Structure 1
Amino acid sequence: VWKRLQRVNKNAVRLQFSVTYQQLVLETTPKWVPNKLSVVWTRKSRKVQSEPLRWEPMLDQPLRGIVLWTLPECQQVTVTLFKNARNSELEDKLWTFVIEDVAVNGKR
């Protein structure tokens, strides 16, 4: 009920956001070296994640590695934002991007 009261005099606007992954460069520490990496973006209970790809260390710097997508991976999400009728501003909705390590047994 409270959310509905907050949206009085506001218009709903549906927007679609796209993210394309091409390459990821990551520096690690000697204590932690990843197996496969996945890019995840979340907001509350929503979660969009990329296919886990193998992390390849560089020859000259073994603690620095790269993940390359042979074909760029595109992911989309549709978001409903509410627009204030008085000043035409959209409400904020924060999304968080996280890089997850996927272990050999599949755990993140």
Structure 2
Amino acid sequence: MSELLFQKYGITESFRTVYGNSDPLLYAPSPIGGSANGKPDTNSWTTELDYYPFNNGGPKWLPWLNAKLFVTDTFYPTFNGLANNYDGFGRSAGANDTLFAGLWVAF
């Protein structure tokens, strides 16, 4: 039974980082995408939870069907160099966090 459990569920964790030289002209303060300190430095964590309903064989009417249901969450501790007021207009890095759910199907 445990073999079937491990073939149906998955989890992925990733960390991304972007670093660059300070350039106040290229990374100028502006709403949402700007940088108050002129740096592009960004860090994010992404977690994906997966469920494969047909991993041990599809339904009888479509035995070759393959599908994945997933939920992905991305968390930004820093964005464009800062955690708070990163754009110079009061926006925090956490305002860029995203939650995404989907269905992937292959024939």
**TM-score normalised to structure 2 length:** 0.32
Q: Which structure has more RCO (C-alpha within 8 Å, separation ≥ 6)?
A: 1
**TM-score normalised to structure 1 length:** 0.32
Judging by fraction of residues, say which structure has more strand: 1
